[in-house]
Amino acid sequence: MTQTLPIAPWRVFAVEVRAVHRLSPSFVRVTFTGPDLDRFADNGYDQRIKLALPPPDRREVRLPDGPDWYARWRGLPEPERPPIRTYTVRAVRPHLAEVDVDLVLHGDGGPATRWARRARPGDPIAIIGPDAGYEGDHGGIEFRPPATGRLLLAGDETAAPAIAGILERLAPDVCGRALIEVPKAEDALPLVTPPGVELTWLARGSGAYGSRLVPAVTAAAGDLVDDHVPVAAGPVPDVDIDTGILWEVPAEVPPVPLYAWLAGEAAVIRTLRRHLVSERGLDRRAVAFMGYWRLGRADGS
């Protein structure tokens, strides 16, 4: 008798590029297709996935499959090991066997950016993503829809696809702000938002990362939190972003006046974390901080 293996939350999808659309100077949308993408779970919000890219000087991606794919991937010789990068799902169309991923073009320093600039229909790749056949929690979603209070979403261009996915799934009565810092004014994309959520695109131009986002988040937090509402004041331990990962996400959000979700460059997010929690006194149980990447490190490209 053949034994049926249990379905795992995640699986490797062998796919190829169906289409490439340049959305703006800094964003490119890649549509993937594959024979089993009808099994890709459409979870929405900020669902993370991983893209396995072709190794240098190779076109094909040979990624081990099965529950132990990661250990087998690490065991591959360096020239044969596909680089893996984390991204956010932008759209899923199971009936068409399609998945969209929006990529940010960071110059030409990292393997993902180099691949995105050269991607053409038919290019093979692999996606590690959620299997719709699994009936439990897939993981990879950090946003928690607030039951009460207001909402603050903020991030740089690397967080824009996640913020877009969150906005599309929000209940129509949610109120709050969404702030996205991008390199150029032309990077502002049309997004679906609830009537009560104000979306603001912040063009950074020649300014430093966070130069527009930090003051905008500071002002928004002041507007969204009533002075008479008690909050949990007190400093929080700082994070050494050169040796550790800034990733602090509540599992459950209590009834609070403000729920905040912030992602982007680690040093900028650390500054916002310090302001919102240590200085303004927001409840740590209702604030998600994620350092998606670190300035000067190509592994986030």
Q: What is the pLDDT of residues 247-291, one digit of tens each?
A: 889 888 888 888 999 999 999 999 999 999 888 888 888 899 999
Specify the pTM: 0.91
Distance between CA atoms of residues 38 and 96, nearest Å: 7
Looking at residue 235, what is its pLDDT?
58
Dihedral of alpha carbons 135, 141, 144, 150, sign:
negative
Q: Report the 3 state secondary structure along the chain.
A: CCCCCCCCCEEEEEEEEEEEEECCCCEEEEEEECCCHHHECCCCCCCEEEEECCCCCCCCCCCCCCCCHHHHHHCCCHHHCCCEEEEEEEEEEHHHCEEEEEEECCCCCCHHHHHHHHCCCCCEEEEEEEECCCCCCCCCCCCCCCCCCEEEEEECHHHHHHHHHHHHHCCCCCCEEEEEEECCHHHCCCCCCCCCEEEEEEECCCCCCCCCHHHHHHHHHHHHCCCCCCCCCCCCCCCCCCCCCCEECCCCCCCCCEEEEEEEEHHHHHHHHHHHHHHCCCCHHHEEEEEEECCCCHHHC
Domain boundaries, the chain: 10-130, 150-293
The string of pLDDT tens digits covering residues 134-146 is 999 999 999 998 7
Looking at residue 284, what is its pLDDT?
86
Two structure tokens written together for 294: 């670190």
The string of pLDDT tens digits covering residues 105-161 is 876 667 888 888 889 999 999 999 999 999 999 999 999 987 777 999 999 999 999
Give the Å distances, CA to CA, from 239 to 164, 210, 267, 283: 28, 18, 10, 18
- Do the Cβ atoms of 177 and 220 come closer than 8 Å? yes
**Quick one: which of 289, 250, 283 has its CA closest to 270?**
289
Fold (CATH) for 10-130: Elongation Factor Tu (Ef-tu); domain 3 (2.40.30)
Two structure tokens written together for 67: 């529950």
The string of pLDDT tens digits covering residues 1-47 is 445 567 889 999 999 999 999 999 999 999 999 999 999 999 999 99
Looking at residue 1, what is its pLDDT?
46
Looking at residue 300, what is its pLDDT?
45
User: pLDDT at residue 237 above 70?
Assistant: no
The string of pLDDT tens digits covering residues 176-235 is 999 999 999 999 999 999 999 999 999 999 999 999 999 999 999 988 876 544 455 455
Side chain identity, residue 153: L
Number of neighbours of residue 55 by Cβ within 10 angstroms: 19
Q: Greater confidence, 67 or 171?
A: 171
According to CATH, what is the number of the domain 150-293? Answer: 3.40.50.80
